[in-house]
Structure 1
Amino acid sequence: MNQGDMPVGETPPPYEGPSRATQSWSDSGQKVVQTQSHVTIQPGMQPGQNYDPRIRSQYANEPGVIHTTRPYNPVVGEPSAEAMRRHQESRERYPFLNLSAGEYVILEVHRHPIGMLAQIFISIIAIILLLSLMILYPSIAETVVEADMPSQAVVVPAILGLCGIIAVISYIAAWVYMRNTFFLTNESVIQELQFSLLSHKEQTVSLGSIEDVSYRRQGLLQVMFDYGSIRLSTEGEESTYRFHYVASPKQQTAILSNAVEAFKNGRPVDD
């Protein structure tokens, strides 16, 4: 019956979605047809990867779908005393991190110092050349008689100033390099990216959103000095996060993988 054909004052029955028909035969030989709505069926449990796998199912009027309810005001569990103690320690040690209640830092990973070798080597060579020029300048000035050479009182402060500028630039480059860090907490991975003195970026990924953790180590130097890159891939938009020049990447990847597995299975994330 269409809604327009119903008597005035009566409301149509609620729509229960598509139904599934089952046929059976009674003892008298008559065919019995029973219908069952897909939407109104709610199984007790389904396999999945979340605390309650039923929540991961999509809403759709299709066979096998699962509907679940969520409270308007969900009950938030209180963190344990140990978690709050470690949370307070992490807040004091890392005041720049945005940690939620009960969240604490488990692992702190810095870049391997080998990534600064090229910058340090170039700076040292430049300073040595400038100091050699300052020492040899009197002899050079005596040799070149016809040229109008500046006095040593002008050249020495200029060379020392250049050496100071190179040293400051090298220090800033090393500071920016070492500021690139990522932290593993009992709830997420926080990546601190420092591009320059005035350029900073922070990325936070929940452990529940991480699908794959892998590392890559290639080349003679990376094998000899045990460093490489770590890759995190997340579900949804398939975002990928990379962290380069990681010391002991195999060990760090194992810790990250164990933390993700423990978080998804509802177990405590330990060190």
Structure 2
Amino acid sequence: MENNSLADRLTQEMEEKKVQQEQGVYNAEIVRRREKSLAKYPDVSLDNDEYVVVSVKRHYIGYVGTLIISLFLFIVLTSLWILLSFVRTKIVLPENIKANLSIFFLPIIALLLVLSYVNYTVYKANKLIITNERALQWIVSGILNTKKQVINLESIEDISFTQVGVMQHLFNYGTIKLSTIGDESTYTFNFAPDPSKKAELLGDIVEACKKKEPISEELLSLGEKMSI
């Protein structure tokens, strides 16, 4: 009896040590993932055991319309400036006016370039970041107009996506929707690249969170690839 009791105790101690070792390895991996996320996403506040799995940015197609308008205006203004200031035409302008045309056109062209860059920065600032615990969305509509939404993954009931029209299917972008339990709120992220694969990945992340399971290396690697 004593031998059996001793063997059982040794077996139990070995199992406890194994669990502790596995827990230690897991905790070390969590620390490594968190440090990597903090280095890559310094503007994201993370809890002690939290790390980024995937970052979704808007598809470039959403900025193309603004870019075309800005480029058209740039060409028109630059052409007018060169035509009126340096090219001999039937339009005869006094020399003093010609000399001042640059003072008129150059600031407008410079302002147009600055506004185009600001619009691009604002557009790209819209993002959806999924960690192993939360979904964080930044909605930016202006330099001084930013809204942040935070959703616990455990409260997400449904993840879906929509692609409407030829353009969205042709350039493979759409809208990702996150529906929560209780208040029946739906959070949307427009111009999401490859929405079907990202919605599927988000579903796997949410499922792992609800089951209290760690994010697998496979999911983490896939999330990193989709974040590029």
- Is the structural similarity TM-score above 0.5? yes
Q: Distance in 1 between matches of 2:150 and 2:114?
A: 32
Pairing 1:64-213 to 2, within 5 Å after superposition: 80-138=27-85, 143-144=90-91, 151-213=97-159
Listed one character per residue, the Cα deviations across residues 189-234 of structure 1 (whole Å, up to 9, x for unaligned) are: 1112222111222111111000000000111111111000100000
Structure 1 residues not aligned, in runs of 5+: 1-76
Identity of aligned residues (%): 35
After alignment, is 260-269 or 117-126 more displaced?
A: 260-269
Which of 223, 234, 238 aligns to 2:184? It is 238
Q: Distance in 1 between matches of 2:179 and 2:188?
A: 9
Provide closer, same or farther for how the CA distance between residues 241 and 195 of structure 1 changes in structure 2, counting only shifts above 3 A.
Answer: same
Indicate the SS of the match to 1:171. Answer: helix
Alpha carbons 1:141, 1:149 under 8 Å: kept = no
Indicate the SS of the match to 1:151. Answer: helix
| Structure of higher RCO (CA pairs closer than 8 Å, 6+ residues apart) | 2
Q: Distance in 1 between matches of 2:188 and 2:177?
A: 5
Indicate the SS of the match to 1:166. Answer: helix
Richer in helix (by share): 2
Shift of residue 93 of structure 1?
A: 2.1
Which of 230, 239, 255 aligns to 2:201? It is 255
Q: Distance in 1 between matches of 2:79 and 2:112?
A: 15
State the partner residue of 1:23.
none
Q: Distance in 1 between matches of 2:91 and 2:195?
A: 57
TM-score by length of 2: 0.79
Read off the aligned partner of 2:206 and give its amino acid letter.
V
Q: Distance in 2 between matches of 1:197 and 1:107?
A: 25
Shift of residue 149 of structure 1?
A: 8.4
Indicate the SS of the match to 1:80. Answer: helix
Provide closer, same or farther for how the CA distance between residues 217 and 142 of structure 1 changes in structure 2, counting only shifts above 3 A.
Answer: closer
Q: Distance in 1 between matches of 2:76 and 2:42?
A: 42
After alignment, is 130-139 or 173-182 more displaced?
A: 130-139
> Highest Rg: 1 or 2?
1
TM-score by length of 1: 0.67
Instruction: Give the 4+ runs in structure 1 shifted more than 3 A.
Output: 138-145, 147-150
Listed one character per residue, the Cα deviations across residues 161-214 of structure 1 (whole Å, up to 9, x for unaligned) are: 111100100000000000101111111111122221112221111110000000
Shift of residue 140 of structure 1?
A: 8.6
Shift of residue 94 of structure 1?
A: 1.6
Indicate the SS of the match to 2:201. Answer: helix
After alignment, is 163-172 or 257-266 more displaced?
A: 257-266
Indicate the SS of the match to 1:143. Answer: coil
RMSD: 2.1
Shift of residue 266 of structure 1?
A: 2.3
Alpha carbons 2:85, 2:99 under 8 Å: kept = no
Q: 1:265 and 2:215 equivalent? A: no
Shift of residue 95 of structure 1?
A: 2.1
Structure 2 residues not aligned, in runs of 5+: 1-22, 221-228
Q: Distance in 1 between matches of 2:85 and 2:41?
A: 53
Q: Distance in 2 between matches of 1:200 and 1:96?
A: 14
State the partner residue of 1:26.
none
Alpha carbons 2:63, 2:123 under 8 Å: kept = yes
Provide closer, same or farther for how the CA distance between residues 242 and 149 of structure 1 changes in structure 2, counting only shifts above 3 A.
Answer: farther
Read off the aligned partner of 2:125 and give its amino acid letter.
R
